[in-house]
Amino acid sequence: MIDNKHTDRLLRTCAWCSREISEDEDIFGFGAKAIQAADLSDKEGQFVSLNLSLQDKTVFALVPTGSSAADIEGFDLVFITCSEDCAQSLKDALDLERDVFDEG
């Protein structure tokens, strides 16, 4: 058996503000493409950490499995946030980081 305790906790933790999302609250998740070309195939169903150098912040993202729901197909990563504000802030931060990486 795989120990899923850590994953379960991250599934209810906002990737942006690190707030724990209680069971009666909605989760705002969204999919994204990986910032850097990376082989994530051995990470399916697991969380990976991403360093946002511009924000001096590390965020966690779930790597969807091949059998995940259709609405996240085509995405390399799924981010979990506690609110639309956090989702938007995280998207903005990822866009900024992407610009940096594109220049490299």
Burial class (CB in 10 A: 0-12, 13-18, 19+), 84: exposed
Q: Segment near Zn ion (CB under 5 A), from 15-23, 25-33, 42-50, 93-101?
A: 15-23
What does the block give as tokens for 74? 């085509």
Q: Which of 53, 46, 52, 42 is nearest to 10 (CA)?
A: 46
Rounded Cα gap, residues 34 and 53, in angstroms: 15
Applying CB under 5 A, among 14, 50, 61, 63 the residue interacting with Zn ion is 14
Q: Segment near Zn ion (CB under 5 A), from 19-27, 45-53, 87-95, 96-104?
A: 19-27
The 71-100 site mask, x for binding Zn ion (CB under 5 A), equals -----------x---x--------------
**Residue numbers of the site for Zn ion (CB under 5 A)?**
14, 16-17, 19, 82, 86
